[in-house]
Structure 1
Amino acid sequence: MKRFVWLVVILLIASPGWAAKKMTVGQLKDLLAADQKAQKSDADVAAELKDIDLTDELTHSMMDSFKPLVPGQLTTEQLFVLEIRSAVLPPPASEIPATAAPDATKQKAILDKATDYATKTYAQMPALSASRTLRRFQDSAHQDQPAPGTHGSPVLAATYTPIRYTASDDASVTFKNGVEVNPLAGEKAHWGENSMIALLGPAPDPGTVLQEAQAAGKISWLRWETIAGHDLAVFSYSVDKKKTHYAVNYCCFPETSQVGQVAMRGQESAGGAGNYQTSANWKDFKSTEPYHGQVFIDPETGVIYRLITQVEFKGSDPVKTENQRIDYGVETVGDKKVVVPGFVTIDTVEQPFPDSPQGRYILRHTLFTENYSGYKTAGS
């Protein structure tokens, strides 16, 4: 019994998000208003927001309504973190239309239009190029180890700083059949060793998602939602292990025989873990995983304006969470209007080190946003 309690204590220490406070978007607004009345500093308000998990989506309209309550840049940064992490949640009830659900016949008609659009229009788009701005937010959790040559108990406290903006990258990217051709594939950057992950796999394809969900027989009506002036039909879906072709590819994770004694490059100067480097091999995590999510469809045209995918990883996988949302928008390419990815959010949780001999592990959060603009025919 004592050993069980000790392991629970270890996991509590190793999981910085454990004590996060659940809160609705309405309660978040009330908190900001109370902090403004109390004249709290930007740093103090930002520190409060780091400990919050939202239970509904922080939408753009709600973000705009917060502007008079935001004391500074640090608070703004944490609101962006909350926006990304809540991107796959339903919006506040006040923002959900009260329109009655369509009957079964109309639901099938909407799905048929969406499948036709995704497989015959979207998937047959010409090759396009665009400018992409990728922004990365992450925490810096890593495990502390006893100093070399000591024989005492290992240090159990994980070094942890909350999720912050880390880096951005501008690139020219290409889309083939509506799916981005990943520019990182084959790149020789020291991902993993530099305390960062890279997503090398293709983005979700709306046509494949719809076909797999319908083949699995697990797609059903959820609600109406208004996005960018469109009243969209929202369906939830689930694709099990037998039907999925959802490929994930993450770079990179260490392989070592001395579990718990690997430090990522970039942590060496922090002390502790940097003293315990070994010659580790770094390996991509590749797998085909089941997933679930939501698809947002224009009921008249079948055009898909939003796609949510949430991967269902195994407990032994080094990646624990991948929640991805793709928002599509209308762009003019030449003399034609096309619906293409405009904004993407990706929320991931990964285990950057193997389990330690004490059964202890830590988790790292990495968030991404991707903005696409300047679409044109590839090669033009």
Structure 2
Amino acid sequence: MKLLTALRRVTILLAFLLSAVPDLAQVSVTIAQLLQFLKSKQAAKESDADLADRLSSVSLSEQLTSATLSRLLTETSIGPKASEQLQLLAFASVFFPPPRAEVPDVPPPDSAARQRVLFAAVSYVNTTLQLLPDFLATRTTLSFENTLVQTGPRPKATLHLVRGSHREIAYRNGREVADTASTDSGLNTWGEFGPILKTVLADSFMGNVEWARWQTSQTGALLAVFRFTVPQSASHYLIDFCCYQKSEDDPVQYSFHAKPGYRGEIYLDPATGVIDRITLHAELADADPVAISEIAVQYGYVDIGGKSYVCPIQGIAVTEVHNLRMESVDGVGLEKHINIVHFLNYHKFGSTSRILPK
């Protein structure tokens, strides 16, 4: 099993960033603060492009759920560029719990009930996932980066779409078939079909698993959320990164390989143990060239050959890396990459034959 985050950085010459936004630049805010900010900028009639630039420098400390995102878009009526940045904020916030007010007011299960849910999840991963048929699906990836772009007299570091890709993936004999011919550059992940679940459950029981909260799913169902931590000694989270400079005076491009400890959350159907979502956050050292490496996978029911199965429907990968020029010359912070992956067009893999009349 391999959870892979691979990043190929393109060397660019960085000039200098637009002046920093004093009210929300490089800060982490709550959902309530974000709403207040959006309404204030709307009242000030700030342009869509300027608001998008400001939002690109913001990070959230709470999960912006799909329901709350829809409410914010309706209440603020912001433009398309700012709306895109708001949606990227929502994707990147999946690694945090939602605001306390959005957590269902339901008493937590007792210890025995928690154990039953976890055992059901283990049983689900070890048995039900093995019953998946051979199938094909389409993996659609949208890649966003905050690398500087020249859109006027001064370059901007707004998070923007840099590439989109579509490729067919195959699942055969209980495992995803690796695409050795893939030449996708940038941020890549692998392991959404089964391996990530098996590995996290195995790793987490070598670490610590504890109750986190109840949460409402995207379809309105009540989910049991557990928090886990995995020490480096038990970790199978692999990071392969190329390339970075150790100093501006050193022209050598170095690669970085690590197997860090990690933490995350697993969202479960309390009645069946079916996994709705899983998130992973690598525990990296301050001196590492990769500052943040996170993966989240959303599961849902899909139709394959006339039967319903639980499979990945969406993936999110976030990586932030140190860029000497961006940090020391331009002072704009870390180089950020976000991948939004959608799994579509599931169909059974197989062959058919028929006899044609003479």
TM-score range, shorter chain: 0.7 to 0.9
The 5 Å alignment of 1:1-380 reads: 19-68=25-74, 69-140=76-147, 161-176=157-172, 180-183=176-179, 185=180, 187=182, 191=185, 197-199=186-188, 201-203=190-192, 205-216=196-207, 218-227=208-217, 228-250=219-241, 252-254=242-244, 259-260=247-248, 283=255, 285-352=256-323, 363-379=334-350
- Residue by residue, what CA displacement relative to the aligned partner does 1:220-249 show, whole Å, maximum 9, x if unpaired? 111000102221110000110111122233
AA matched with 2:137: A
Structure 1 residues 314, 128: closer, same or farther in 2, change over 3 A?
farther
Taking the aligned partners of 1:290 and 1:46, their CA distance within structure 2 comes to 35
Q: Which runs of 5+ in 2 are unaligned?
A: 1-16, 150-154, 352-358
AA matched with 1:28: L
Say whether the 8 Å CA contact 1:328–1:342 is kept in structure 2: yes
1:373 Cα offset (Å)? 1.2
Taking the aligned partners of 1:168 and 1:346, their CA distance within structure 2 comes to 14
Say whether the 8 Å CA contact 1:260–1:355 is kept in structure 2: no
Say whether the 8 Å CA contact 1:219–1:235 is kept in structure 2: yes
Say whether the 8 Å CA contact 1:246–1:291 is kept in structure 2: yes
Matched position secondary structure for 1:49: helix
AA matched with 2:344: S
Taking the aligned partners of 2:27 and 2:291, their CA distance within structure 1 comes to 21
Structure 1 residues 44, 98: closer, same or farther in 2, change over 3 A?
same
Taking the aligned partners of 1:49 and 1:356, their CA distance within structure 2 comes to 19
Say whether the 8 Å CA contact 2:260–2:282 is kept in structure 1: yes
Say whether the 8 Å CA contact 1:353–1:361 is kept in structure 2: no
1:357 Cα offset (Å)? 12
Count of residue pairs the alignment pairs up = 321
Structure 1 residues 66, 357: closer, same or farther in 2, change over 3 A?
closer
Structure 1 residues 324, 188: closer, same or farther in 2, change over 3 A?
closer
Q: Which runs of 5+ in 1 are unaligned?
A: 1-12, 143-158, 192-196, 263-277
Say whether the 8 Å CA contact 2:48–2:82 is kept in structure 1: yes
Taking the aligned partners of 1:357 and 1:165, their CA distance within structure 2 comes to 25
- TM-score, length-normalised on structure 2? 0.79
- TM-score, length-normalised on structure 1? 0.75
Matched position secondary structure for 1:302: coil
Larger RCO, structure (CA 8 Å, separation 6 or more): 2
Structure 1 residues 208, 341: closer, same or farther in 2, change over 3 A?
same
1:136 Cα offset (Å)? 0.8
Percent pairwise identity: 26
Say whether the 8 Å CA contact 1:182–1:202 is kept in structure 2: no
Structure 1 residues 139, 331: closer, same or farther in 2, change over 3 A?
same
Structure 1 residues 222, 281: closer, same or farther in 2, change over 3 A?
closer
Structure 1 residues 50, 213: closer, same or farther in 2, change over 3 A?
same
Deviates more, 1:219-228 or 1:116-125: 116-125
AA matched with 1:220: E
